[in-house]
């Protein structure tokens, strides 16, 4: 296992002040200020690690064993995670300028696009990033399906994945209304009508989302709350559970790799 800075659990890490010796900053063992500065990063890590145990968590996460034959398809989950993180970051900046009101939403977005420094860029990243995330999530789901990773003991992780997929699509639907222009208004009416045709819960769900007889001010604030608070919170919690299970259960080997037979089951060589 690669070496990571980890303090001896029984000894307190030295404080940086203890090492220096006199005004020239040279330490007792003759190290100069540059060496002391280099050590400071390790010291800070050690200080944090002694109190949080974070290093053992990170080593478990990052240095876990993966089966032979893993390839680029195994990076699709991380690509989805990266896309989500990017959506969260760009979304925070968009929220600083956006006003969820039918009379001001469109104006706040045109102001952001035309007048704010990098506004058009950040908005573009968020808009295209949504499609990137949806493409990545479907490819990742395809990889886990075709590699048989949904089978025992990873069924629960598959189910969590399905919920993550639905939540990601809900993000797309709720985000689409936010500019409140003609296209988003009419597209949301269509989506709401389709939702209403769903069996049993469909009409109730459509009523809940519309938040009134017509799409209007309450619909917009409801979609905004769902888009920036409720669903991202759920996604973060579920990604946590998803990754916990990935680390706990390990990764599935590609289907074309032969399983290694335990020694006890191997036939003795007849010589």
Rounded to a whole number of angstroms, the minimum distance from the CB of residue 262 to ligand HEM is: 21
Q: How many CB atoms are located within 10 Å of the residue 268 CB?
A: 5
Candidates 29-37, 79-87, 89-97, 197-205; binding stretch for ligand HEM (CB under 6 A): 79-87
Q: Is 44 among the residues that bind ligand HEM (CB under 6 A)?
A: no
With 0-12 / 13-18 / 19 or more C-beta atoms within 10 angstroms meaning exposed / middle / buried, residue 197 is exposed
DSSP 3-state assignment of 169?
helix
If we measure between CA atoms, which residue out of 52, 55, 25, 54 comes closest to residue 40?
Answer: 25
Structure tokens at 80: 């989805």
Rounded to a whole number of angstroms, the minimum distance from the CB of residue 131 to ligand HEM is: 14
Structure tokens at 99: 């006003």
Residue of this chain nearest to ligand HEM (CB atom): 161
If we measure between CA atoms, which residue out of 171, 185, 173 comes closest to residue 217?
Answer: 185
Q: Is 77 among the residues that bind ligand HEM (CB under 6 A)?
A: yes
CB nearer to ligand HEM: give 36 or 165.
165
Q: Rounded CA gap, 17 and 147, in Å?
A: 55
Binding ligand HEM (rule: CB under 6 A), the pick from 140, 210, 222, 227 is: 140
Candidates 24-32, 104-112, 145-153, 193-201; binding stretch for ligand HEM (CB under 6 A): 145-153
Binding ligand HEM (rule: CB under 6 A), the pick from 161, 173, 178, 185 is: 161
Candidates 24-32, 150-158, 183-191, 206-214; binding stretch for ligand HEM (CB under 6 A): 150-158
Quote the Cα angle for 165-171-173, to 5°: 105
Q: Rounded CA gap, 226 and 242, in Å?
A: 22
Where are any strands of DSSP class E within 118-248? none
Rounded to a whole number of angstroms, the minimum distance from the CB of residue 162 to ligand HEM is: 5
Structure tokens at 193: 């009508």
- Interface mask toward ligand HEM for 237-266; x: CB under 6 A: --x--x---x----xx--------------
CA distances 113 to 108, 120, 133, 183, Å, are 9, 4, 22, 17
Q: Is 139 among the residues that bind ligand HEM (CB under 6 A)?
A: no
Contact residues toward ligand HEM (CB under 6 A) are 74, 76-78, 80-81, 84, 137, 140-141, 144, 147, 149-150, 154, 157-158, 161-162, 164-165, 168, 235, 239, 242, 246, 251-252
């Amino acid at each position: 296992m690669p070496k990571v800075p980890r303090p001896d659990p029984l000894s307190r890490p030295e404080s940086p002040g203890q090492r220096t010796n006199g005004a020239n900053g040279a330490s007792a063992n003759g190290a100069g200020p540059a060496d002391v500065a280099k050590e400071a990063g390790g010291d800070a890590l050690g200080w944090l690690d002694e109190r949080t145990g974070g290093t053992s968590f990170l080593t478990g996460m990052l240095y876990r064993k993966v089966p032979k034959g893993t390839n680029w398809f195994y990076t699709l989950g991380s690509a989805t995670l990266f896309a989500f993180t990017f959506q969260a970051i760009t979304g925070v900046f968009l929220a600083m300028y956006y006003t969820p009101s039918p009379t001001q939403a469109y104006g706040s977005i045109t102001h952001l696009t035309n007048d704010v420094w990098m506004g058009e860029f950040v908005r573009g990243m968020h808009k295209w990033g949504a499609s990137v995330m949806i493409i990545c999530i479907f490819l990742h789901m395809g990889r886990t399906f075709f590699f048989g990773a949904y089978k025992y003991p990873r069924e629960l992780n598959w189910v969590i994945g399905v919920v993550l997929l639905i939540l990601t699509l809900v993000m797309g639907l709720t985000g689409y209304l936010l500019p409140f222009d003609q296209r988003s208004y009419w597209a949301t009416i269509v989506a709401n009508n389709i939702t209403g045709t769903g069996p049993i819960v469909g009409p109730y769900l459509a009523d809940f989302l519309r938040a009134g007889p017509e799409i209007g001010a309450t619909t917009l604030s409801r979609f905004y709350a769902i888009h920036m608070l409720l669903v991202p919170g759920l996604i973060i919690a579920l990604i946590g559970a998803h990754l916990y299970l990935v680390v706990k259960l390990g990764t599935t080997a590609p289907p074309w790799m032969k399983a290694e037979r335990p020694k006890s089951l191997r036939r003795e060589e007849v010589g």
